[in-house]
Amino acid sequence: MGEAASQLPQTGLAFDPDWWRGAVIYQIYPRSYQDSNGDGIGDLRGIVERLPYIASLGVDAIWISPFFTSPMKDFGYDVSDYCDVDPMFGTLADFDAVIETAHALGVRVMIDLVLSHTSDQHPWFVESRANRTNDRANWYVWADPKPDGTPPNNWLSIFGGSAWQWDARREQYYLHNFLTSQPDLNFHEPDVQDTMLDVARFWLDRGTDGFRLDTINFYFHDSELRDNPPLAPELRNSNIAPSVNPYNHQIHKYDRNRPENLDLLRRLRAVMQPYGAAAVGEVGDAQHGLELLGEYTRGDDLMQMCYAFEFLAAVPPTSQRIVEVLERLDAVAAEGWACWAFSNHDCVRHVSRWNLSPAAQRMFVTLMMSLRGSACIYQGEELGLPEADVAFEDLQDPYGIEFWPEFKGRDGCRTPMVWTPDNQNGGFSDVRPWLPVPSEHLSLSVAAQEKDPAALLHHYRRVLAFRRAHPALTKGDHTGLSADGDVIHFTRELDGERLFCAFNVSDTPSDFPAPEGKWETIGAELGSAQISADGQLHLGPWQVWIARENG
């Protein structure tokens, strides 16, 4: 696992309710990280085995995608027991081992809480659908049909078709924003809120340090079930759903983003507070994601941080686009806190999505680690893994199967992590994995890159160490944001440390006048440029300049 991993100190963790501010979080998709028992599926024990490697990167925390008991129709995002581990991933004792090992290595553990919906096999739903009078009859969103038998309104599912499914037992429709096997919980019901807060307490009591909150803006629906208005074609984008999905044809005013959400988030924050725990919310909204980010993270009684989809989109991140996003964030979320990500388990890996060269990959991670906010790295991103081309016959994702071939789903970013180049499974498993390992990934494996001083993996380690060494980058203010041609630049400042950061977001050289004042170039290990004798910065393709003010 590399020399750096073997030399890590056993630091442990002190209580720090502010640990999340500026933290770097490493996302693990457990099915695809490490198989420890030879069934072709990653598991919690596999994560334990690989935690020294993760700690060697210099991250502050891990986020583990769902490992709860589930029929796996949506690979764990359809929960049938919130307080147990699915046998394919191990046991509660294995989870405890993750906590213990991570904390010994100085790494915090966040888990993925899927609060908005359950599996249709959850005992709560089984009871709720039985009749209209049982104790949990109102735990899900049920509605009578229109007089002609059609669904109660025009709401659509992200996975295609109506968001309403007919149930013959109750002779009513139930709401599902995702698969029909993922019925939405009714958060207008107080018992539902109380129960889900108890779920959070259960995991906090086991040592969990925080949560990634799936679809944080989907918890509440409009109690009047009003129709969503249409969205003008010129305003549609595919940040949340693929362009072939009619979900993009609506303004999702009534099926999500409801004002009642704020009180629930305040209750959740109060539950987390005594534990020093933190949450990062996934804001799924194509038109108002940054506004919701600001709304949900404002003050000290809501969520600590959220991420939107601006940099998870297919839109190329030019200097102008990056400044546009950051200026918009400053305008609508000045009191909030963003968590930046370029890749995750739901979107095409950014190396492929933006067609990045190795130099561009280095520049973008350096940029992300210089932005005000926290940051998420998705497993394999540090290796520069491209999106895998998964054949239709190997697809597992119901989303991709539904919209193939115009949209190939999410399996291409979920293929197994590659640890070694010497077998077709990349050291992930001794047997055929649940998704095939692409042959082009093998040369990018951890073992191969550990041996190459010029490999991307080492750049990730260097830039994370640089960020940690300069508190202005983790928690400082950011000012002076601007784009000059292909160069984006801004200043970060905290407790007397003032850094100037410039990034050439292009594959052509750019000249840029050095800022006034006395500046010392730092970050040579990151490829930082030098000021020339004429006071100009000559930034090569994808080059950065980071400098510290002296005097």
What DSSP element (H or E) covers 447?
A: helix 446-450
pLDDT at 97 over 80: yes
Cα maximum dimension of the chain: 81
Residue 11: pLDDT over 60: no
Tens digits of per-residue pLDDT, 165-191?
A: 999 999 999 999 999 999 999 999 999
Q: Note whether 506 and 512 are within 8 A (CB).
A: no
pLDDT digits (tens, 9 = 90+) for 334-379: 999 999 999 999 999 999 999 999 999 999 999 999 999 999 999 9
Task: Name the amino acid, one letter, at 309.
Answer: F
Averaged pLDDT for residues 231-257: 88
Higher pLDDT, 245 or 108: 108
The phi, psi pair for 85, rounded to 5°, reads -100, 135
Q: Which tokens in the block code for residue 540?
A: 């090569």
Q: What is the pLDDT of residue 9?
A: 37
Nearest alpha carbon to residue 219 among 264, 179, 174: 264
Say how many residues make up the chain: 551
* 256, 283 contact by CB (below 8 A): no
- When the candidates are 3.20.20.80, 3.40.50.720, 1.20.120.80, 3.40.47.10, the CATH number that belongs to 3-115+190-221+256-468 is 3.20.20.80
Active site residue 282: yes
C-alpha span between 88 and 322 (Å, rounded): 41
Of 222, 282, 381, 411, which one is the catalytic site residue? 282
pLDDT tens for residues 321-336? 999 999 999 999 999 9
Mean pLDDT of the chain: 95
What average pLDDT does range 515-521 have in this prediction?
A: 92
Domains of the chain: which residue ranges? 3-115+190-221+256-468, 477-549
Q: What is the pLDDT of residues 127-152, one digit of tens each?
A: 999 999 999 999 999 999 999 999 99
For the record, the structure tokens of 65 come out as 């995608």
Nearest to 214 by CA among 122, 329, 79, 109: 79
- Residue 10: the pLDDT is 40
Which strand (E) or helix (H) includes residue 439?
A: helix 439-442
331 exposed, middle or buried (CB, 10 Å; 0-12, 13-18, 19+)? exposed
276 pLDDT above the threshold of 60:
yes
Q: Among candidates 399, 92, 461, 108, which has minimal Cα distance to 280?
A: 108
Which one is the CATH code of 477-549: 3.40.190.10, 3.40.630.30, 1.10.1060.10, 2.60.40.1180? 2.60.40.1180
Is there a contact between 26 and 106 (Cβ–Cβ < 8 Å)? no
Residue among 214, 222, 310, 387 flagged as catalytic: 214
Quote the pLDDT of residue 423: 87
Q: How far is CA 422 from CA 69, 415, 427, 445, in A?
A: 34, 17, 8, 10
* Amino acid of residue 326: L
Q: Ramachandran region of residue 523, left (φ > 0), alpha (ψ -120 to 50) or beta? A: left
The residue-averaged pLDDT of 45-52 equals 98
Question: Is there a catalytic annotation at residue 227?
Answer: no
- The pLDDT-based confidence of 12 (bands split at 50, 70, 90) is low
pLDDT at 286: 84
Is 49 within 8 Å of 429 (Cβ atoms)?
no
Over 90: is that where the pLDDT of 469 sits? yes
What pLDDT was estimated at residue 535? 79
Closest CA to 430 of 34, 90, 44: 34
Instruction: Inform me whether the pLDDT recorded for 519 exceeds 60.
Output: yes
Contact 527, 362 (CB under 8 A): yes
On whether the CB atoms of residues 446 and 61 are closer than 8 A, the answer is: no
What is the Cα–Cα distance from 281 to 346, expressed in whole angstroms?
Answer: 15
Alpha-carbon distance of 111 to 13, in angstroms, equals 18
Query: Which of 42, 56, 41 has its CA nearest to residue 102?
Result: 56
d(CA 240, CA 253): 15
Q: What is the pLDDT of residues 470-516, one digit of tens each?
A: 999 999 999 999 999 999 999 999 999 999 999 999 999 999 888 99
Percent of the chain residues past pLDDT 70, beyond the cut:
97
pLDDT over threshold 90, residue 287: no
Omega prior to 405 cis, within 30 of 0: yes
Model confidence pLDDT, tens digit, residues 393-437? 999 998 899 889 988 999 999 999 999 998 899 999 999 999 999
Q: 193-211, pLDDT tens digit by residue? A: 999 999 999 999 999 999 9
Q: How far is the C-alpha of 18 from the C-alpha of 278, rounded, in Å?
A: 8
Q: pTM for this structure? A: 0.95
